[in-house]
Amino acid sequence: MRKLLFLLLALPFLSSAQNADSAWIVNNYIKKEVYIPMRDGVKLFTSIYIPKSNSEKHPFLMTRTPYSCAPYGDGKFKNFWRNHYKEYLKEGYIMVTQDVRGRWMSEGVFEDVKPYNPNKKTNKDVDEASDTYDAIDWLLKNVDNNNGNVGVFGISYPGFYSTMAALSNHPALKAVSPQAPVTDWFMGDDFHHNGAFFIMDGFSFYSGFGKPRPKPTTVGPTGFTFPTHDNYDFYLRTGTLENFAKLMQDSVAFWKDLYSHPNYDAWWKARNDRNFVQNILPTTATLEVGGLFDAEDCFGAQNLYKAIEAKAKNNNKLVLGPWFHGQWAGGDGSFLGNVQFGSRTSDWYAENLEIPFFNFYLKGKGSIDKIAEANIFFSGENQWHQLPQWPPANMQAANMYMEQNGKLSFTPATAAKSSYAEYVSDPAKPVPYTEDVHYRRTREYMTDDQRFAARRPDVLVFQTEPLTADVTLGGPVVADLKVSISTTDADFVVKLIDVFPDDFEYPGTAVNNQRTAGGGYVMTGYQMLVRGEIMRGRFRNSFEKPEAFVPNQSTQVKYTLPDVAHTFKKGHRIMVQVQSSWFPLADRNPQKFVDIYHAKEDDFQKATIKIYHNDSKIILPVLK
């Protein structure tokens, strides 16, 4: 109640501050809308916000987007004042937003995650990198009083276009920040995780975004009208992926592409920009930014950073904060759902990392000495760590064994070789990803309480005794399971969980009447999801060549979960849950080795899943 009262009292001040910032920006900037020609003659709609002051020469900071550079029209300003972007205008940046080829007011034909072409030979060989190059070149030659330096940044799909900008090789491009960037839509971003199709995000997004746009427009597409706001019920009732294809109808090209490429083939690999980052110039600095609890893309920033680090020769840095998708640019980052992080992490990031990064490379102002190689927020401990490398040099892989009677231990199990735990996975009653009834996929599920799942008979639970000392993890988590199934295919979901003590409360709260970040919630015994990930079993040996399971024959399923940065505090427990559905995040596996995109209703069957104690473990990145 006190928090609500504070917010109500603060609203007039916040509104007044925003009004002052918006008035200053409108009074000190002019806006121009132009069409910038590309090398093949296609023109891209671009909004340019230019400082009125000529006291110094100004750098460019650009975002290229498929989501519209609205508002359209002279005198209509983008709301830069709503977050830290206002600081760039106060610094005198020329801010540029551009509708990418084939979207909104730009000419041309749009192609989702259009592959990078490293071997362009004619002006007809265009991609998003060449479009960025041409846009930069035009801006430098046609916008007065610029200082010749350009930066590019963007979140999510604009993060993909930021990576493409880094591949443009324009000599004026000095700094790029791909943030939660679309990087590999089969392995880990948005629509697939380890080959499992994320149906809820895919269908809800593409039923609107994927509709064709025959000509330039300022009016966006309409999405699908859901018959119920209970997403679990809707996705279960709709059934097979063929039924979703019927609802999508025939106009969404990328949806048909998904169904045509069920495995990790050349089509997908061409759209994995990690395959091309060796082409980034040494003179282009990069800053990858991601959320450790990003429900849409926990994969992109981490893995793009690692690829650039391995293949390119530029100055490359990483930021991982305790954020949902884009929270570093909207919200203070002090909590997610019921979990508190103890400080305004988004504000710290903007003030200490992003703004100094662009100021240094584009204005020659200040220093980047305080921007470490890896700038990582560790939840649990709730502290930023600035590290010389990621994963940290003192990371040691530590096995935690799944023992009999639901025990989890760093000590190898002594059970009989044939000892196992089992459950029945029923596609007609898949395990939900969260306890509550929701319309849209929640962003809070990444830290949600997992007690609801622990109570289900089709979820295996293993946990330690209360820890006698803090255990800090930093880096990738590996699930290494020895399994057998009664059918020919199955999915495996492994969840790493922090179990809070039975007397836990956040400071300033009262037991049984707690005031937590997300409102009143019983935090005693809370089972915080630290990391969860799914693996489509057929891809256990190869994502290119899936293999059926031999029924009732033991086999290894081993895969890597996204990186974690978390401290399990003394008195907490470490828990692992294992299940075979995560619905409706991921589509249901029929548990029969068929083309799932074209599976029939009678292909879906129950499977008995066995997890063998002696040979099943989770490998944790423990910091020593």
First to last CA, the chain: 42
Contacts of 549 (CB under 8 A, 6+ apart): 484, 485, 487, 488, 489, 490, 537, 538, 555, 593
Give per-residue pLDDT as tens, 539-557: 999 999 999 999 999 999 9
CATH code, domain carrying 507: 2.60.120.260
Last residue within a domain, chosen from 250, 268, 286: 268
**Identity of the amino acid at 85:** Y
Are residues 319 and 456 both part of a single domain?
no
Q: What is the pLDDT of residue 518?
A: 44
> Nearest to residue 97, comparing CAs of 148, 31, 23, 182?
31
Residue 457 to residue 605: CA distance in whole angstroms: 17
Are residues 258 and 301 both part of a single domain?
no
Are residues 358 and 258 both part of a single domain?
no
Give per-residue pLDDT as tens, 314-331: 999 999 999 999 999 998
Which 3-state string (H, E, C) describes 404-464?
HHHEEECCCCCCCCCCEEEEEECCCCCCECCCCCCCCCCCHHHHCECHHHHCCCCCEEEEC
Dihedral sign, CA of 42, 47, 51, 56? negative
What's the whole-model pTM score? Answer: 0.94
φ and ψ at 499, to 5 degrees? -95, 115
CATH code, domain carrying 59: 3.40.50.1820
pLDDT band for position 511 (cuts 50, 70, 90):
very low
> Nearest to residue 517, comparing CAs of 342, 331, 288?
342
Contacts of 49 (CB under 8 A, 6+ apart): 29, 30, 31, 77, 78, 80, 89, 94, 95, 96
Are residues 118 and 38 both part of a single domain?
yes
Are residues 134 and 263 both part of a single domain?
no
Are residues 253 and 370 both part of a single domain?
no
Beta bridge partners of 603: none
Are residues 246 and 287 both part of a single domain?
no
Are residues 152 and 263 both part of a single domain?
no
Last residue within a domain, chosen from 234, 268, 302: 268
Last residue within a domain, chosen from 387, 421, 450: 387
Q: If you average pLDDT over residues 559-581, what whole number do you get? A: 98
Angle between helices 300-311 and 157-166 (to 10 degrees): 10
Residue 165 contacts residue 61 (beta carbons within 8 Å)? no
Are residues 593 and 464 both part of a single domain?
yes
- The domain in which residue 219 lies consists of 192-268
Angle between helices 199-209 and 231-238 (to 10 degrees): 90
pLDDT averaged over every residue in the chain: 94
Residue 260 to residue 256: CA distance in whole angstroms: 6
Q: Would you state the torsion angle of the CA atoms of residues 125, 126, 129, 132, taken in this order, to the nearest 10 degrees? A: 130
CATH code, domain carrying 236: 1.10.3020.10
Are residues 474 and 503 both part of a single domain?
yes
Are residues 403 and 477 both part of a single domain?
yes
Residue 542 contacts residue 557 (beta carbons within 8 Å)? no
Are residues 180 and 205 both part of a single domain?
no
pLDDT band for position 462 (cuts 50, 70, 90):
very high
pLDDT at 16 over 80: no
Give per-residue pLDDT as tens, 336-389: 999 999 999 999 999 999 999 999 999 999 999 999 999 999 999 999 999 999
Structural domains in the chain (count): 3
Other beta carbons within 10 angstroms of residue 612's beta carbon come to: 21
